[in-house]
Every structure is written in C-alpha cells, then in structure tokens.
Amino acid sequence: MFAVLRNGVYARLFCAQIVALAGTGLLTIALGLLAYDLAGRNSGAVLGTALTIKMLAYVGLAPVITALVARLPRKPVLIGADLVRAAMALCLPFITETWQIYVVIFLLQSASATFTPAFQSLIPLILKDPRDYTYALSLSRLAYDMEALVSPAAAALLLTVMSYNRLFIGTVAGFLASAILVAMTAIPRSAAPGGPQPSLWHRTTLGTRIFWHNRRLRSLLALNLAVSAPNALVLVNTVVYVRDSLHRPGSDLAVALACFGAGSMAVALAAPRLLDRFGDRAVMMTGAALIPPALAGAAAMMFLATAETGWWPLLALWLLLGAATSAVLTPSSRLLREASTEGTLPYVFTAQFSLSHACYILSYPLAGWIGAAAGLGWAAAALTILAILGSAGGFLFWPGKTPLGPGPALGSDPAAIKEHS
C-alpha cells in the first residue's frame, strides 16, 4: 500500500492532506474551549450552531464554488483556499462574541468546501492505475482515522504548557504548510472542455444530475445516509453515555472513540485485498448490512446496560461500527472515478462532498435532540431506522450486475445524462 508514496506528486499532496487534517483537529478542540469560555453552559448550543453552519456551507456552497472555479488552474485554487483557511483560523483567538464564531466558521468552511472536492478530484488524474488509486483511498481513510486519534492526544499534551488560544496557531501552521506543499507540487492540468462554456446552473447541478441518473451513484447516495447514522451517534452521544450513563472518567471517552477509529483503520488497511477479491459491491454492502444491527445493539445497550455492564459492549459495538462505516466509505471514490470523465471529475466529487454532508443535517439533530429530550436509547433507535432506510436504498439501487462506465461529458444535455443510467 505504502509503495504508492513513491509517486512524488501524490506523496506531497498526501503530506499536505495530513498537515491540514492535523490543523483541523486542533481547531476542533480549541473551538470547543473557546465556545465554553464565551457561553459557559450554553456552549453546546454554540457548537451545535457552528456545526450546522459548517454543514450548510458544505451542502450549499460547494457545488456553486466548483462551478465558478472550474476553468481556473487547480494549484492557485487549492493554495488560495488554504490561505483563506489560515487567515480565518488566525482570527479565532481574537473573538469576543459568539456571533463572530459563526461568521469565521462560515468563511473557513466555505474555503474547505473549495479545497476538499478539488483535492479529491486531483488524485485520479495523478494515480491512473486502479490499484494505486485504491491504495490512495486506503491511505486517505487512515489519515482521517489517525487525525481523530492523534489530534486529541496532541492537544491534551499542548494544553499542559499553553493556553487553548495558542492551539489556533497550530491550525494556522497546518493550513500554511499545506499551501506550501501544494505550491511545491507539479499538479497536472485537466483537459479544458471545448466549445462554449455551459451555464453556471448547468455546471452547478451537473454532479447531482449524474448522481441521480446513475444507479450505483444513487446507491452511494443512500449509503451516505446509512453511514451518517453511526457517525452521528458516536460523535454526538459517546461523551454523554460514557460520562453520564456509565460514570466513567474522561480518559475512557478517548478509549471508546479510539475503538471506533481502530475498527475503521483495520478495514482501511485490508481494503485493497478485500476489493481485489470480492469487488466494490460486496465490500460496501457488507458494511451497509452490518450498520443497522450494530445500531440496534447500541440502542438495546443504552436502554438496558448499567454502569457495571455497559462498558465492554460499548467498545465492541464501536469497533464494529467503525469497521462497517469504513467498508462503505473507503471504496466509495472508486465509484465516483468510474462514473466520471476527466471533465466531470470535479463536479461528481463535489456532488458526493455536498450530498454526503447533507445527510448529517438530518442525523446530527436526531442524535442530539432526541438524545436530550427522550434519552440515548431512543436516539440510537431513531438512527437505526435511518440506517435501515439508507442500507435498503443502497441494496435496491445497486443490483448485482450493473455496468458502469464514464459519465457524460461536461456539455452533455439532460437526455445524454439520463441515457447513462
């Protein structure tokens, strides 16, 4: 797997991804502490609003920004997005009002909605061999999982010698290092589409229309909904269950989250071999089939478990949920690559970025609001129903044998897109 890092262009971009993720991890922790300083017991509401703003920026702005910058060289787009993110992070230590958090987070996440899809759509142009691309997807999944494990530990260590405001400096450094690495990289130019430029509306909606008219991508859209359920349960409710239901120390929260990350990392490491042997559909549908029963087990655990009996089932279920979500997510970009032409790659990747985050606008409130109003067991039960709907849609939209070739070109009319289904 790591042999793919011998490609110098990909290796530098992968390093840029890692340092940007490290900066984002520090940002998440420092932002929570800043919100607590400004709002005290209402800090959860502040963070919930900031998270909603983040998702709205991802869902609403990503397709529009991609359409606007479509004909610009990708290197300055990526560097510009990193510089905007660094500038916004630099503003955070000077914030004194909660509304200022919302403005800065909106601008920062708008830049992320520019950077991430453009970055992801570059990798298939650099690694044209399908096996190399699969290795890159596994490494990317590992990078996200390692960030979730390492960033909290690094932040805890740094907080012993500095105030949380200085963590934002680490965020700035991460984004600036990412910009420098991108600037040092010879990024391939995508082929410029010939003929007249399609309308902004056509370009903004192209990725979504390709999704809707392609059976495997419709399946992926449903699977995004299924995956959002366990992620929401783990991210929103683990801390409440560990601290309030099990009455365990804060360090055990890190252990529980580490189990989820470990399950995800194990599947990411095994993904190239699994995909070679069983194929995309078998791996992804296995993950989708495991999510609802694991969530149902979590609901039963939260209804019935006591402080003495609930700890080990939590670790086992979180390990299983991490593995199941990774089985769905790790191969997903292979479907995007196969359904795209070089000209439509940015639009399809942006559609996945936007539509997948739209699912969290539904799952996060289910996890948080139902958990607060009715209890964690009912929140897990509601998320189980959501996962059942998503997994069932994934199976229905993706029959056992569905041919998949490159999608329509950038200027294709709606009829041509529909025929590609």
DSSP characters for 280-297? HHHHHHHHHHHHHHHHHH
Q: How far apart are CA 114 and CA 58, in angstroms?
A: 9
The neighbour count for residue 307, using CB atoms within 10 Å, is: 10
Closest C-alpha to 105, from 84, 126, 129? 84
Closest C-alpha to 132, from 15, 18, 266, 5? 5
Which residue shows structure tokens 């569905």?
402
Ranges of beta strands (E only) in 70-221 are: none
Q: How far apart are CA 217 and CA 67, in angstroms?
A: 20
- The answer to whether the CB of 410 falls within 8 A of the CB of 198 is yes
- What pLDDT score was predicted for residue 159? 73
- The answer to whether the CB of 327 falls within 8 A of the CB of 284 is yes
- H helix count then E strand count, the chain: 16, 0
**pTM to 2 decimals?**
0.77
Q: How far apart are CA 318 and CA 27, in angstroms?
A: 25
- What pLDDT score was predicted for residue 421? 42
- DSSP annotation string for 334-363: HHHHHT--TTTHHHHHHHHHHHHHHHHHHH
- What pLDDT score was predicted for residue 417? 46
Residues 6+ apart with CB under 8 A from 288: 223, 226, 324, 327, 328, 390, 391, 394, 395
Task: Give SS3 for 250.
Answer: helix
Query: Alpha helices of 4-97 — where are they, by DSSP H?
Result: 8-39, 43-68, 74-91
Closest C-alpha to 296, from 363, 191, 388, 234? 388
Kindly give the confidence (pLDDT) of every residue in the chain, 421 residues in length, as a single tens digit, with 9 standing for 90 and above: 677 888 888 899 889 988 888 888 788 778 767 876 787 756 656 766 777 788 888 888 888 888 788 778 888 999 999 999 999 999 988 888 888 888 988 998 899 888 888 888 888 888 888 888 888 888 887 887 777 667 666 766 777 777 778 888 888 999 999 999 999 988 876 655 555 566 666 777 888 888 888 889 999 999 999 999 999 898 888 878 887 888 887 668 778 888 888 898 899 889 889 999 999 999 999 999 999 999 999 999 999 878 788 899 999 999 999 999 999 998 988 898 888 877 788 888 888 888 888 898 888 888 888 887 888 899 999 999 999 999 999 999 987 765 544 545 444 444 444 434 4
Quote the longest CA-to-CA distance of the chain. 68
- What pLDDT score was predicted for residue 161? 79
- What pLDDT score was predicted for residue 167? 82
- DSSP annotation string for 3-25: GGGGSHHHHHHHHHHHHHHHHHH
Q: Which domains does the chain have, with CATH numbers?
A: 1-189 (1.20.1250.20), 198-421 (1.20.1250.20)
Q: How far apart are CA 340 and CA 194, in angstroms?
A: 17
- What pLDDT score was predicted for residue 274? 92
DSSP letter assigned to residue 69: T
End-to-end CA distance of the chain: 33
